[in-house]
Chains A and B, each alone.
Chain A
Amino acid sequence: MKNINDLLSELGRIFAYDLERFRDLWLTQFDAFVDYTMVFEKLIYIVGMGNPEVEKKAVGILEEFITSRLKSYEEWKSSAWLAHELGRVISEELSRTHAKLQGLIPQLVRKIREDLCCMDLLAFLSFDEIVSDYSRIIGDIVEIFSYSKTKKFSRSVCFY
């Protein structure tokens, strides 16, 4: 099966072609330019996610976009469609990860309680260590839910 890398050169050619055909329609060209900038950013984001399933979906969408350009004009998929579809794939994946992370929070709370017991009973872990470790973890969780940073997401899910 093809990957994103294999399809990029064809996408680049379509991008150049669209900018050319809208050369005299500044606003339309600008719209297309914004769409493609979003498309490229979303593709980079998807590659950064490192999830083969997400990449597979993105490849399917890219292939649909590219093959539509071989059909009659009425059947062409637009750059706005491409940006929207890639965004949908990303947000689906992020919602799944959010849900997974949310499901893991009770386990985290249990672990904090266990560690606090160890501190009380066995003096096994120092108070400073527990407080600084967990405050960092909780800070990260808050950040994840606020900004949806992919890398931090996947790392946290693996960690917990």
Chain B
Amino acid sequence: MKKLNDLLPELGRILAHDLERFEITRTGILIDYARVFDKLLDVLMAPYPAEEKAVKVIEEFISSRQKPYGEWRSPDWLAYSLKQIVEEARKPKAKKPLAEGELPF
């Protein structure tokens, strides 16, 4: 499986391409990607397996860009998916119920 550092250059190229094709509203695009990068930094701080899940989501984003325009994933979608991953990873895990006679300490 690919690692995050293998995917970041391609993500950077897609950002550069999007900034190139939107001549007037580049700041708007930058806002979308800034959210993506912000969430990506959260992913890196989040517990396992957030990074693995993020790699899959980024791969989906990148590969969607090889498909027809109608199937492209937006940076908004990417930011939202990364946010879900972080929230999921940070959710406290349910404790195993105590066995009969087991003490809670």
Q: Is A bound to B?
A: yes
What does DSSP make chain A's interface, helix, strand, loop or mixed? Answer: helix
| Interchain CA distance A29-B41 in the complex, whole Å | 13
In the complex, how many angstroms separate the beta carbon of B36 from the nearest chain A beta carbon?
9
**Bound state CA distance, A133 and B56, in angstroms?**
52
Q: How many A-B residue pairs have CB under 8 A?
A: 74
- Contacting pair A8 B26 (CB below 8 A): yes
Chain B residues numbered 58-97 whose CB sits less than 8 Å from any CB in chain A: none
Q: Are A15 and B5 in contact (CB-based, < 8 A)?
A: no
Interchain CB contact under 8 A, A23 and B27: no
Q: Who on chain A is nearest to B25 by CB? A: A5
For residue A29, which residues in chain B have a CB less than 8 angstroms away from its CB?
5, 8
Cβ contact of B30, chosen from A18, A30, A33, A44, cutoff 8 A = A44
Given contacts A37-B37, A37-B41, contact A16 B9 (CB under 8 A): yes
Is A9 touching B19 in the complex (CB atoms < 8 A)?
yes
CB-CB contacts below 8 Å: A11-70 with B: 11-13, 15-20, 22-24, 26, 29-30, 33-34, 36-37, 40-41, 43-44, 47
Task: Point out the residue from B3, B5, B11, B24 that lies within 8 Å of A5, measured CB to CB.
Answer: B24
Determine the chain B residues whose CB is within 8 A of the CB of A44 once the complex forms: 27, 30-31, 34
User: Among the listed A4, A9, A26, A40, which residue makes an inter-chain contact with B33, where contact means beta carbons less than 8 Å apart?
Assistant: A40
| With known contacts A8-B19, A36-B37, A41-B34, A20–B9 Cβ distance under 8 A | yes
Q: Residues on A close to B: CB < 8 A?
A: 4-5, 8-9, 11-13, 15-20, 22-24, 26, 29-30, 33-34, 36-37, 40-41, 43-44, 47
A-B contact pairs, 26 of them (CB 8 A): A4-B26, A4-B27, A5-B27, A8-B27, A8-B29, A8-B30, A12-B17, A12-B18, A13-B16, A15-B12, A16-B9, A17-B12, A19-B8, A19-B11, A19-B12, A20-B12, A23-B6, A23-B8, A23-B9, A29-B8, A30-B44, A33-B41, A37-B41, A43-B27, A43-B30, A44-B27
